[in-house]
Structures are given as structure tokens and as C-alpha cells.
């Protein structure tokens, strides 16, 4: 099964990355650079829009 990237969500993903919480910043600082037993972690790309309630 192929999952297609949705380019319409690029700006939303960018905003979410730029407005990350302190917890998310700390998590990504630990995950980047293969600090976790040599595993590589990458930020996910948006693939579809989900509906959320506000």
C-alpha cells in the first residue's frame, strides 16, 4: 500500500513544528543525531488531513 504525501498540508506541518511545546523540543533534541542507540528518527510528513474538534 502506497501512502501519498499531501502538499496542501505543508504549511500546517511547518506551523506545528515551529510552535512546538517545550516537551517536544526536548524530545527531538534527544532523538536527532542518532543519540538513541544509533536509530535515526525523522519528523513525519503530513499525508492526509484529520478532523479535530476545538
Interior/surface letters 5-43, b for 16+ CB within 10 angstroms, e for the rest: eeeebeeeeeeeeeeeeeeeeeeeeeeeeeeeeeeeeee
Residue 40: which domain range? 1-54
Q: What is the pLDDT of residue 27?
A: 85
Q: What is the pLDDT of residue 23?
A: 92
Banded model confidence at residue 8, pLDDT cuts 50, 70, 90: confident
pLDDT digits (tens, 9 = 90+) for 9-54: 888 888 888 898 999 888 888 887 777 777 777 766 666 655 554 4
Between 5 and 17, residue with greater pLDDT = 17
Q: What is the pLDDT of residue 47?
A: 62
Instruction: Indicate the pTM of the whole model.
Output: 0.51
Structurally, how many domains does the chain consist of? 1
Burial (Cβ within 10 Å: 0-12, 13-18, ≥19) of residue 48: exposed
Amino acid at each position: 500500500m502506497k501512502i501519498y504525501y499531501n502538499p496542501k498540508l505543508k504549511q500546517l506541518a511547518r506551523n506545528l513544528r515551529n510552535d512546538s511545546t517545550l516537551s517536544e523540543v526536548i524530545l527531538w533534541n534527544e532523538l536527532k543525531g542518532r543519540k538513541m542507540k544509533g536509530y535515526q528518527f525523522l519528523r513525519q510528513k503530513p499525508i492526509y488531513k484529520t478532523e479535530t474538534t476545538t
